[in-house]
A and B are shown apart, each in its own frame.
Chain A
Amino acid sequence: MREQDPQVRARNFEEVPYGYTPEEAVEEAKRCLKCKKPSCVQGCPVNIDIPGFVGQIALGNFWEAMKVMKTTNTLPAICGRVCPQESQCEGSCVLAKKMEPVAIGNLERYIADWEAQQNECVMCEMKPRTGKKVAVVGAGPAGLTVASDCAKMGHSVAMFEALHKPGGVLVYGIPEFRLPKAIVEREVNFVRSMGVDLQLNYVVGKLKTLDDLLQEFDAVFVGTGAGKPSFMGIPGENCLGVYSANEYLTRSNLMKAYLFPRYDTPIVRGKRVATIGGGNVAMDSARTALRLGAEKSILIYRRSREEMPARTAEVHHAEQEGIEFNLLTNPVRYIADEKGWVKAVECLRMELGEPDASGRRRPVPVKGSEFQIPVDTVVVAIGNSPNPLIAQTTPGLETAKHGNVVADPKTGRTSKQGVFAGGDIVTGAATVILAMGAGRLAANSIDEYVRTGQW
């Protein structure tokens, strides 16, 4: 797919890939081998009917393609942009063994964007009203999936979101250049068009507890995500100019600090910005730093390139834009100037030892290898843990050691009758599509529960 020139895009917040032309989309779709047992569908956590929609695109039937899409996925413009296709649908594509797999993600994105340009939109088939009420806590990817699926099944759905905009990580975390906010808004509006009542600025656990909700609703889904940022606990982490990735990205994305002072929320526009971590959030932060005007955006990651959890495409984009990678490097302390601002990060060189619990080779510090990197801003992107608010205010809801809500991976059922959970609050920080997959499973078991009353 054609993309903005790396030199140019590294200084703006516009989307990086341009998207297919209709001709390109049809041509790409025609590469699909129409496998009898489509392994791409198995590779997808929500089992999207991939051959169905790709086949329609190949015939030039875009409207039909979108109809097929919406039977299994109500958020295609988002999935097409942020799913790790290379390890899911595209990674399972038969063509991938010999050559390039069918660009399923690009096609998904194309068809969703095509629909957005039309004057009408494909509506989902809605089952008759059941009279059952479902509450969804958190309007992120998991919550949106549960809400749309339950609405399709005929249940009344109320969704509660603590922030002032729906979308969860899609609006506060993922930058505009990777997922334009107008697209999230459009897909959220689609979910609302199915009759889902969305209440913003509503903190469940404070305004109403889960037990309050259970008085009003037949079932409650908790999809409050993993919002609490982790820090390394090294000296100097509280000095000025040291951000959590969540703060940095929330300022820039949700609060539009990159448009300061037109928008009131400020952000530090560092000249030398170090991002700590190797996941997608780290890539997003390092690339945001460039776009905010950094002369140097430096990534510091303690393992090697192979162990990086970020998507290949994002690592590639970051490299093209000139992010400087410091691999096998681990921060040990931050050094502040006389005013308390960070001026350097002291690091240790690492080498890889035996595999650890994650199956990746464990990074081991090289003795005496301390060195300093001069910086004026640091973004710590080493992960998040579940938001504790619901667990703290809900007696009887079983949680695991990091505060994750314990839920059956097949049904989303928790230890509390009528309460389901899914997404990052259960698994810890993961991907958008896994959260949607958990949402899909939970919606099906919510449907079964509210119809039968069997727990």
Chain B
Amino acid sequence: MLKKQVLSPGIKRFELDAAEIARKALPGQFVVLRVNEEGERIPLTVADTMPDKGILVIVFQEAGKSTKLLGSLNEGDSILDLIGPLGRHSHIEKFGTVVCIGGGVGTPEIFPVARALKQSDNKVISIIGFRSQDLILMADEMKSVSDELIVATDDGSNGNKGFVTDMLKKVIDRGEKIDHVFAVGPVIMMKMVSKTSEPYKIPTVVSLNPIMLDATGMCGVCRVDVGGESKLACVDGPEFDGHKVDFDGLMARLRTYLPEEKLSLEQYEAAKPKGGCCGGKGGCCA
């Protein structure tokens, strides 16, 4: 790891030295990493690449043991395995006017998509949403690749209260023709975005995050029902037509290991030295 930043509480950005992947990865693709020998294979969307410097950027939210363990790494540390790029890249073309929606930690992931769309001469309207003002991420970066940026907070603490779906509705209702919607964020958000755009028949692409294991088309755990067909998010996706995805099925399957995840996290927290991994000094336990 070359560089570590804490973007907001529990959300970290790593720059990794991974030249070959950095040269190949395109917006929408993901990598899988394993921190140590006992670790899980963790899929993470490629947040950015700097091909000339051989740098791959990941942004992740610490939720369970594995992401907390990853977050405890520091600059100069190594990750045991890094595999990628995996999945199909986003289909980018000149659509006309596109709305790019990022929810929470989905924002760093929509960023390279928005940038690519902008570079392909689209008019990019970006909507990013967070629970509150202190959790806002990457607003400047998003602004730099958007013709218009709307930042919303659930609690209104930034002065623009509402969900991303409310903002999308407003954009649609002001009468402008929207040709495409791209959305990355929590499953429930992607479901609501798809429901919002569906009556207007605006093609909507969502990036799914089901449980994955090998992530190369071998285990089948990431299967999702898309338009009545079983698709593997790792090789057929991760992006799919939001109007066809069975989001409820996906949400149910994401709950498969809740008890195990809880147990893992408890054990990890109990074993950690007091004051966190950095002894309370660095930014890692923020």
Contact = CB atoms under 8 A, between A and B. Distances in A.
Given A207-B20, A246-B219, A247-B221, A164 B83 contact: yes
A163 to B, nearest CB: 7
B261 interface: yes
A366 interface: no
Interface string B255-270: 1110011011001000
Interface residues of B, number: 41
Interface in A253-269: 255-256, 260-266, 268
Contacts of B24: 206-207
B253 to A, nearest CB: 6
B70 to A, nearest CB: 11
A206 B28 CA distance: 14
Given A255-B40, A260-B260, A231 B214 contact: no
Interface in B47-89: 65-66, 80-86
Contact of B213 (A203, A228, A247): A247
B219 A247 contact: yes
A264 B39 contact: yes
Contacts of A266: 257, 260-261, 264
B220 A268 contact: no
Nearest to B40: A264
A202 B83 CA distance: 6
Interface in A291-324: none
Contacts of B123: none
Contact of B85 (A163, A206, A251, A263): A206
Contacts of B235: 388-389
A25 to B, nearest CB: 35
A163 B214 contact: yes
A227 interface: yes
Contacts of A202: 83
Chain A interface category by residue count: 35 or more
A88 to B, nearest CB: 27
B230 interface: yes
A425 to B, nearest CB: 12
Which of the listed residues A239, A247, A256 has the most CB atoms from chain B within 10 Å of its own CB?
A247
Contact of A229 (B65, B66, B219): B219
A162 B216 contact: yes
Given A247-B220, A250-B214, A265 B85 contact: no
Given A201-B81, A206-B24, A240 B218 contact: no
B250 to A, nearest CB: 9
A264 B65 contact: yes
B38 interface: yes
B249 interface: yes
A239 to B, nearest CB: 8
A231 B213 contact: no
Contact of A387 (B21, B217, B225, B255): B217
B85 A207 contact: yes
A47 to B, nearest CB: 31
A255 B212 CA distance: 13
B81 A200 contact: yes
A423 to B, nearest CB: 15
A201 B82 contact: yes
B25 to A, nearest CB: 9
Contacts of B225: 238
Nearest to B266: A261
A262 B82 contact: no
Nearest to A246: B219
A238 B86 contact: no
Contacts of B66: 264
A172 B267 CA distance: 27
B217 A227 contact: yes
Interface string A230-242: 0101000111110
Given A206-B24, A250-B213, A389-B235, A231 B249 contact: no
A340 interface: yes
Contact of A268 (B214, B253, B256): B256
Contacts of B86: 203, 206
A293 to B, nearest CB: 14
Given A260-B260, A264-B40, A227 B84 contact: no
A201 B33 CA distance: 9
Nearest to A263: B38
A340 B252 contact: yes
A233 B225 CA distance: 12
Contacts of A262: 38
Contacts of A261: 260, 263-264, 267
Contact of B34 (A164, A203, A241): A164
B4 interface: no
A262 B21 CA distance: 30
Nearest to A237: B230
B230 A238 contact: yes
B12 interface: no
Contacts of A340: 252, 255
Given A238-B253, A255-B40, A250 B218 contact: yes
Given A164-B83, A207-B85, A261-B264, A389 B40 contact: no
A404 interface: no
Contact of A264 (B217, B220, B232, B264): B264
A244 interface: yes
26 contacts: A162-B214, A162-B216, A164-B34, A206-B86, A228-B217, A228-B232, A229-B220, A237-B230, A238-B230, A240-B255, A240-B256, A244-B221, A246-B218, A247-B220, A247-B221, A255-B40, A255-B213, A261-B260, A261-B267, A264-B39, A264-B65, A265-B40, A265-B213, A266-B264, A388-B235, A389-B217
Interface of B: 20-21, 24, 34, 38-41, 65-66, 80-86, 213-214, 216-221, 223, 225, 230, 232, 235, 249, 252-253, 255-257, 260-261, 263-264, 267
Given A163-B216, A164-B81, 20 more contacts: A162-B216, A163-B214, A203-B84, A203-B86, A206-B85, A206-B86, A207-B20, A207-B21, A228-B218, A228-B232, A237-B230, A240-B253, A247-B220, A247-B221, A255-B41, A261-B267, A263-B38, A264-B65, A266-B257, A388-B235
